[in-house]
Structure formats: structure tokens, C-alpha cells
Amino acid sequence: MASGFFALLDDIAALMDDVVVMTKISTKKTAGILGDDLAVNAEKATGFVSSRELPVLWAITKGSALNKLIILPIAFLLSAFVPIGITIALVLGGVYLAYEGVEKIYQYFFHPKPKKEIKSVGREIKNLPKEAVLENEKSKIKSAIFTDFILSVEIIIIALGTVIGKPILFQILVVSLVSVIATIGVYGIVALIVRMDDFGLKLVNISENGISFWFGNLLIKTLPIIIKSLSIIGTIALLLVAGGIFIHNVKIIHHITNPINLPVILKEFLVGIIIGLMALILVKGITFILKTIKG
């Protein structure tokens, strides 16, 4: 009986070793989408009143964890019984990401924010009443969680693709570990970014000169540049992810783009732009028709 128990422990140890190895492989496979996820969510997690940054980020993180709890069992069921459902979910998500990316560009060129609404270095939203600030906060949290849902689907499907054919328990362990790493890793880095200037201020207050003062000032001055850059990087990331979804999952688009002699990243960006423009035109058209009908 004792030998049977130790044999069971050996089997569990061997299984966990395999899980760790495959988790590393799956994480590498999803590295690109994780980078996009970081850029998109870091951009969405900025622009709040300083004292509300961590509570807001925590709310988004909890939403992200709930997203993955919803997606994981559905992904396993679809993979087992309706594989085409995964592709359909990916394509629909790609349309949304492309639309959001193009819509951001459209808003920037055709409906720029008034200067009085632009965030200050300290990210305080000025000239807005408290109710408007809270409403803006809720809106951005919902948007961040919804976008995270789409990106989480992509991450989970890619991770699942690396363990297809393995026993279901193995699939569950590997993909679940990748999901945990994605959530903790992405939002942990986002938390460091949004609190960078506060850490810099503490360093500056330690002394009026020296390395701490210099490094603290560097962090404070660098943060506005990072925040502005994240908005651009996040928009590009949305379009790249969307384009990649269509190129790799829609055969006709794959066949059209495959002969084109351009870098893959540029193909993905162009496809994302085209799909996003089509979605934007459709949404604007429907909105216009509805407004006309209502008078």
C-alpha cells in the first residue's frame, strides 16, 4: 500500500513537471498578446484622480480575474464539443478591438478633447465636478474590463492551442496557470507604472541632492511621456491584435494577405485598420439611421 502511495506521488510530481514545462511554452506563445494586453490596460488604467488609482486598478484586476473564470470553462467545453465556436468568438472579439482602435483615432482627429480636460502631470482631472469624475471612473473601468475580456479570450485560446490533444486535466492545469500569470503579471506592472510618480516624489523628499533626488525627478518627468506613449501604443496594440485574429483565423483574409510582400506586423496593422474602419462606418451609419427615425 505504501509503495502504491509513493507511486501516486511520483505520478503527480511527473504531471506537475510536465505542466510547468508546457506552461513555460504556452507563456512564450502568448508573450506577444500579453505585451499588447499590458499596453492596452496600462493606457486604460491611467487618467484617474491620484488617490483613486489603486482602488480603480484593483477593480479592473478583479474584473479581469472574473473574466478568466468565465472564459476558461467555456473554452474547454467549446474545444471539446464545438471547436468552431472558438473561432467565431475570436473573430467577433477582433471586430470589437479593431473598432475601438479606429474609433480612438477618429476621436483624436475629429473630436479632440478641449485643453481644459487634458490630464496634468499628476493625472488630476481638473475642471470637472466630483460626479463627472466618478462617472468617468466607472465608464473607464467597464471599458477596461470589457477589453480585457476580449484579450483574455485570445490569451486563453492561444494557450489552449499548445496543449490540444493532451488529457483534459493537463489542459486545465496549464491554461489556468497561464491565466493566473497573465493577470498577476500584467496588472502588477500596470500598478508600478501608475504609481511611478508617487515613488519618485518620495525619493525627491529624501534629500535635496544625490542619486535619490536625481532618480526621483527622472521618474516624475518620465511618467507623462509614458502615459502619452501608452495611449498610442495601446491603440496600435488593439489594431495589431485584431489584424492578427483575422489573418490567422479567417481563411479568405489569410489567402489575400499571404502573397503580399510586407512584414507580418504591418499586414496585421493594415487589416486591423480596414476591419476597424468598416465597423466604425457601420456603427456610425446605424446611429445616424436611429437618430433620423427618432426625429
Q: Given CA atoms 275, 277, 280, 281 in this order, what sign does their dihedral have?
A: negative
Over residues 139-159, the mean pLDDT reads 83
- Stated pTM of the model: 0.68
Is the pLDDT reported for residue 220 higher than 60? Answer: yes
Residues whose CB is less than 8 angstroms from the CB of residue 190 and which lie 6 or more positions away in sequence, other chains included: 38, 41, 42, 45, 57
Q: Is 188 exposed, middle or buried (0-12, 13-18, 19+ CB in 10 A)?
A: exposed
d(CA 47, CA 187): 16
Question: How far apart are the C-alpha atoms of 188 and 52, rounded to whole Å?
Answer: 16
User: Picking from 134-148, 152-166, 238-252, which range would have the lowest pLDDT averaged per residue?
Assistant: 152-166
pLDDT tens, position by position, 268-292: 999 999 999 999 999 999 999 988 8
Report which listed range, 69-73, 127-131, 199-203, 206-210, is most confident.
69-73
Mind listing the pLDDT tens digit for each residue in 166-214? 777 888 888 888 888 888 888 888 888 877 877 888 888 887 777 888 8
Summarised one tens digit per residue, pLDDT across range 83-113 is: 787 778 778 878 988 998 899 899 888 877 6
Q: Which residue has the higher pLDDT, 212 or 133?
A: 212
